[in-house]
Amino acid sequence: MYWLDGALYPDARAPFDLGDRGLTLGDGVFDTALVLNGRAFLAEAHLARLMNALRELGIDADEGSIRQCIGALAAGGERHVLRVTVTRGAGLRGLVPTGVQKPAIFGALSPFTPAFFGPPLAIDVAEIRRNETSPTSRLKTLSYLDAILAMRRAAARGCNEALFLNGAGRVACASIGNLFALYGDELATPPLADGALPGIIRGFLLEQGPALGLHCRERALTLEEFCAADAAFMTNSLRLIAPVERIGAVAIGAKGAKIVEALQDLLRRAIAAECGVEIR
């Protein structure tokens, strides 16, 4: 199901301006959320991040229309992925466009079939580096070519995820999520300044993790430190918490597996409380 200009469409053939800057220049952002039982989990956090990204890029999109898009699509979802895309629109040319913006807002609702907490990840270290000096490293922009290329190489090497180091050689993120490392009762994740996205599940764990007695913090991590963790995992809004089994040929310890399971249970309970449905 798709949403565009206040109307719902059954397929993706809704009218769209082929001169839109999102299509021609990647000039826009998007957000994806998990929809269960007609509700988007952590919807306000998703909306806040999207609106912040739009402000960062100077795209003057109407928040009310974005809320309408989210509400209309989420209402039809039982176990779905909701994606909202916002572009600067059409009619403006050049890298420093002038004139009146007409942002385009559209959304899509797709069935979600994989397991919420899927099989452990085998991660390839990408040759491509994350540019932590670019503000776009902290925004969900429409350009995902680095992730696509990194995942193509990872798949060829028998891996199902890719890890990006930044220009300084520190751990930044995975291709589709944030990375966490556990050391005893310390739960660490790379800071945004190292090229990480402000992930929604990342924020949830940093805020709620102390309830399990964890010291949650952002700190720089070298690849060697990450590989030496008691446990490691990736987070995103669909796969939630995905344990890391190995980085290349290096096995990641399972000493902290019970804590990872406790974090997964914490997330399950939050989803049940907000969406009224239990997940496994």
Q: By CB neighbour count within 10 A (0-12 exposed, 13-18 middle, 19+ buried), where does 201 fall?
A: buried
pLDDT one-digit tens code per residue, 100-137: 899 999 999 999 999 898 889 999 999 999 999 999 99
Sequence-separated (6 or more) residues with CB below 8 Å from residue 280: 116
Q: How far apart are CA 221 and CA 80, in angstroms?
A: 34
User: Could you report the per-residue pLDDT of 208-223, keeping only the tens digit for each?
Assistant: 999 999 999 999 999 9
> What is the model's pTM?
0.95
What is the dihedral angle through the alpha carbons of 72, 77, 82, 86, rounded to the nearest 10 degrees? -10
Average pLDDT, the chain: 96
CA dihedral 269, 271, 276, 278 (to 10 degrees): -60
**Out of 16-20, 183-187, 229-233, least confident range:** 16-20
* Tokens of residue 53, six digits: 């990204």
Total number of residues shown for the chain: 280
Domains of the chain, start order? 2-111 (3.30.470.10), 121-275 (3.20.10.10)
CB 65 within 8 A of CB 59: no
pLDDT at 12: 85
